Amino acid sequence: MKKYSAFSLLRNAFSHNRDWPEAWRSPEPKPEYDVIIVGGGGHGLATAYYLAKEHGARNIAVVEKGWIGGGNTGRNTTIVRSNYLWTEASLLYEKSMQLWEGLSQDLNFNVMFSQRGVYNLGHSLQDMRDIERRVGANRLNGIDAEVVTAAQIKKAIPIINTSPAARYPILGASLQRRAGVARHDAVAWGFARAADALGVDIIEQCEVTGINRENGRVTGVETTRGSIRARKVGVVVAGNATVLADMAELRLPIESHPLQALVSEPMKPVLDTVVMSNAVHGYISQSDKGELVIGAGIDAYNGYGQRGSFQTIEHTLEAIIELFPVLSRVRMLRMWGGIVDICPDACPIISKMPVGGLYFNCGWGTGGFKATPGSGWVFAHTIARDEPHDLNAPFDLRRFETGALIDEHGAAAVAH
């Protein structure tokens, strides 16, 4: 791998940027791999990278049906935080946060991780009690968290409406200063380039259509580019998790829903942090290009169509204008949808499956971008050792039988 540096930028400028090497190869699939990762989103690519880097695995392929990062990785609103309520969840997301903090250096790729802080607003006394409880829980787990008042919010974010006369007045917020945003495409590309440099084959335009098994063990996958044998198969396909589980005759507690986002026309800087509100349901940040990045809620129905309904967008924009009346005349530029894998307890499944050598990582739903490095890190461990890491052991599929759910709905400001 040719290292990116200020010097390489300069040198390539002199040759009019014509000599940059490709960031990753596009190899033909080999007949057999030790590990196949199905799904070339951020999570799949991170899994392959950490398998190679931390566990010395070499013969690995990532098989992606479209182009890498074209799923939810390239469609999300990029909020990264670790202030979840329950210990199991907060430790998992905090592992990810720590990896984010060194990721650009580790990958030699600027993922533009920007720790600009995330405010989760409270609009009622009950919201504020929940916020205080969550902030307390976060601190006990060593995660930075603060309760801030409406006056402090107004000082930090002058365009927000903190008037007590608002329909849903802002009473306060939780603030995680280490939280922020990152550049989603760069995360996929950075992991792909670093994994490729460690010998991982990244195979795009290759859809998995079957999971081959013999005597209760996985033996490989069928794809649109032929069969590939493998000793182990790790599946990380977000909204399509059930489709892949069906191929191995397994059942999942997952339901797929459309989730939408939209961006405005670019404008001068007005918002240098991230604001989320569960009560009115909207969240917003401003990209480096100047676009306001706004996320909506999921559509209620099951859907795989990568688009959602207009009324969902309308509802979100009502919330944004409630919080920021000054934005009422801003024009929206683009909107799109992804398919999110919703799990009953709003927590992921990172688990061995009842078929030997088969592993699933899914159920991240509306909030898995922040977990990309940590998810890959624990999933790599699970695949390499054939047993979960302490951090993901509670996220086993069997929790739905034992009842040990990790309920991150509501209380944890869980939207994203």
Ligand X SMILES: Cc1cc2nc3c(=O)[nH]c(=O)nc-3n(C[C@H](O)[C@H](O)[C@H](O)COP(=O)(O)OP(=O)(O)OC[C@H]3O[C@@H](n4cnc5c(N)ncnc54)[C@H](O)[C@@H]3O)c2cc1C
Residues near another protein (CB under 8 A): 240, 242-243, 251-256, 300-305, 309-311, 344, 400-402
Among 29, 35, 36, 44, binds ligand X (CB under 6 A): 44
Minimum CB distance to ligand X smaller for 74 or for 150: 74
Q: Is 77 in contact with 295 (CB distance < 8 Å)?
A: yes
Give the shortest CB-103-to-ligand X separation in angstroms.
14
Q: Is 207 in the site for ligand X (CB under 6 A)?
A: yes
Distance spanning both ends of the chain, measured CA to CA: 34
Should residue 99 be labelled a site residue for ligand X when binding is judged by CB under 6 A? no
370 vs 83: CA distance, rounded Å: 11
Give me the least distance between CB of 101 and ligand X, in Å please.
Answer: 16
**Residue 364 binding target from another protein, ligand X, none, CB below 5 to 8 Å by type:** ligand X
Tokens of 212: 């081959």
Task: Report in angstroms how near the CB of residue 216 gets to another protein at its nearest.
Answer: 17
Place of tokens 């795009």: 204
| Residue 29 in contact with ligand X, rule: CB under 6 A | no
- Out of 49, 65, 123, 130, the only residue in the binding site for ligand X (CB under 6 A) is 65
The strands making up 146-149's β-sheet, listed across from edge to edge, are 146-149, 172-176, 118-122, 274-277, 282-286, 292-298, 255-264, 332-342
CA 306-300-64 angle, 5° bins: 30
Q: Among all residues, whose Cβ is closest to ligand X?
A: 41
Cα distances (Å, whole numbers) of residue 332 to 68, 262, 289, 291, 323: 27, 7, 14, 9, 17
Half-sphere exposure for 296 (CA within 13 Å, toward CB): 29
CA distance 291 to 326: 15
Quick one: which segment of 64-72, 99-107, 147-155, 380-388 binds ligand X (CB under 6 A)?
A: 64-72
**Nearest CA among 261, 315, 276 for reference residue 415:** 276
Select the binding partner of residue 79 from another protein, ligand X, none (C-beta < 5 to 8 A, by kind): ligand X
Beta strand pairing call for 282-286 and 292-298: antiparallel
Output the smallest distance, CB 317 to another protein, in A.
Answer: 15
Residue with tokens 């390239």: 74
Of the two residues 78 and 162, which places its CB atom closer to ligand X in the complex?
78
79 and 181 Cβ atoms separated by less than 8 Å:
yes
Which CB sits closer to another protein, 38 or 230? 38
- Does residue 40 bind ligand X (CB under 6 A)? yes
SS3 assignment, position 230 = strand
**In the complex with another protein, which residue's Cβ is closer, 336 or 400?**
400
Q: Considering CB under 6 A, how many residues would be counted as binding ligand X?
A: 39
Q: Which residue, 88 or 299, is less far from another protein as judged by CB?
A: 299
Q: What does the chain come to in residues?
A: 416
Nearer to ligand X, 71 or 220 (CB): 71
Closest to ligand X by CB, 75 vs 399, is 75
Which listed residue (49, 72, 91, 388) binds ligand X by CB under 6 A?
72
Nearer to another protein, 275 or 298 (CB): 298
Report the interface residues with ligand X, using CB under 6 A.
38-44, 63-66, 70-73, 75-79, 207-208, 236-238, 240, 259-261, 295, 338, 340, 364, 366-370, 416
